[in-house]
Structure 1
Amino acid sequence: MEPNATTNENLNLYEKAENYAKTSLELLKLKTVCSVADGVSSLASKIAIGIVVAFFTLFLNIGISLWVGKLLGEYYYGFFIMALFYLIVAVVIVKSHHKLIKTPIGNTIISSILKETETKK
């Protein structure tokens, strides 16, 4: 009678391990779907905000260009001045992009990943 009890316990343990593995895999799939959905929705909202800000900036720049051009006597002068302003901004960004853009974005991504793993524990 002893060998049958051990065999039943081994089968029962095997079934529990199999169920645990299946449940763990399903949980991993659901967590992955949740993370992807969170990332995509976050990206979509940032793109929408970026589009609105881009239109605002575009129309503001056109208005400033026309205003400065009117003050200087020719409208195209305003557009040249705004182009020069953006050239200066581009040079500053290129020279300091690592400190102004790359490091803060990298830190944000890392803190987001670490925050996500802390909540999973």
Structure 2
Amino acid sequence: MMEENINSIESLIERVTDYGKTSIELAKLKALDQMSHVTSSLLSNGVVLVIVSLFAIFLNFGLALWIGHMLGEIYYGFFVVAGFFGMMAIVVYFFMRKWIKRTVGNSLIKQVLK
């Protein structure tokens, strides 16, 4: 009888140990899955951001050259475009900074908890 209890306790300890190892392995795999999902999302969004940024840069150069040509001096066009972006930066800083921060934070949290 005593030997049966010892065997069942050893069996129980072995099962608990296996369960613990399996739970740890499962947690590692879930973390790896989330990390790979977030990394791939950031990478793909980064590539899109680079392409859109290049488009915007060339568009702004063209716009600055065109405005400069219309005003008579090329550098006037660059001043006008720079002034426009300066005004946009001020508006974003004072009126939209908190909204952008909250939106990006919520998006990142949503991706991590997905």
TM bucket normalised to smaller? over 0.9
Contact 2:38 2:112 in 1 (8 A): no
Q: How does 1:39-118 map to 2 (within 5 A)?
A: 39-96=38-95, 97-99=97-99, 101-114=100-113, 116=114
After TM superposition, the runs of 4+ consecutive aligned structure 1 residues lying more than 2 A away are: 109-114
Query: How large is the Cα RMSD of the aligned pairs?
Result: 1.2
Structure 2: any 5+ residue segments left out of the alignment?
none
The offset of 1:31, in angstroms, is 1.0
Provide TM-score, normalisation by structure 1. 0.88
Q: How many angstroms does 1:43 deviate by? A: 0.9
C-alpha contact (below 8 Å) 2:38/2:111 kept by paired residues:
no
The amino acid of 2:82's aligned partner reads A
User: Secondary structure in 2 aligned to 1:98?
Assistant: helix
Report % sequence identity: 38
| Count of paired positions | 113
Structure 1 runs not aligned, ≥5 long: 117-121
Higher relative CO (Cα under 8 Å, sequence separation at least 6) belongs to 2
